Amino acid sequence: MISTAKTLLASALVLSFAMLSLGYVGCKRTSKNQPEIAYSDLFEKIKNGDVQDAVIDGNELHGHLKISPQMQFETILPPNHEELEKALLAARVNVTIKVTPVNSPSPLLINLIPLFVLSTVWLLTVPPFWVIFKKAGFQPVLSIVMLVPLANLIVLYIVAFSKWKGDPPRVA
């Protein structure tokens, strides 16, 4: 049983490390030759006709200014940026909108990791205390209380210093 618990714990650690690694690799990095422009400044540059082209990728906008076409800029877009899109089209800016697929499993897996960790802790904590409480003559359901911080210490002290089912009688 101990080797199974070690295997489960090692598997959980490897899975957690793999998910964290995938999340780190998937992060987009801003390169040093891409200055970030404030959204309001970008809006003014669009109205003045200073933007040559733009690529909208999710909540990010990358593009080139007419002043320096080799220099790329970027900005973070608010959730509702239809007004910016209209301004880009009105200023005759070459706009490309990238649609990112939402069927990636990594957000779902990252959200399930805490559930996996909690169920692993439950599986490693409750069964041994269930057996201990049953052998000591207490209600085995008390093993679930062992998952609650502070309450587990109280129950542990109550069980440790109370009379057990198989204890010989105490001589005073």
Q: Give the C-alpha separation, 4 to 77, whole Å.
A: 49
pLDDT one-digit tens code per residue, 106-116: 777 788 888 89
The one-letter code for the residue type at 152 is N
The structure's pTM equals 0.41
Q: Do residue 79 and residue 109 come from a single domain?
A: no
Within-domain flag for 41: yes
Q: Give the C-alpha separation, 69 to 53, whole Å.
A: 9
> What total number of domains does the chain contain?
2
Q: Give the C-alpha separation, 85 to 94, whole Å.
A: 11
Within-domain flag for 57: yes
* CATH for 89: 3.30.720.210
Helices 106-136, 2-26: axis angle to 10 degrees equals: 160
* Domain boundary pick from 67, 98, 129: 98
Q: Comparing C-alpha atoms, which of 171, 146, 141 is closest to residue 157?
A: 146
pLDDT one-digit tens code per residue, 10-31: 666 676 766 666 665 555 444 4
Containing domain of residue 93, as a range?
31-98
Residues 6+ apart with CB under 8 A from 142: 129, 133, 155, 159
pLDDT score recorded for residue 31: 46
Compute φ and ψ for 17, nearest 5 degrees: -65, -40
Task: State the chain's mean pLDDT as an integer.
Answer: 80
Q: Comparing C-alpha atoms, which of 30, 47, 34 is closest to residue 84?
A: 47
pLDDT one-digit tens code per residue, 27-62: 544 444 567 888 888 888 888 888 889 998 888 888
pLDDT one-digit tens code per residue, 83-99: 888 888 888 888 888 87
Other Cβ atoms within 10 Å of 140 Cβ, number? 16
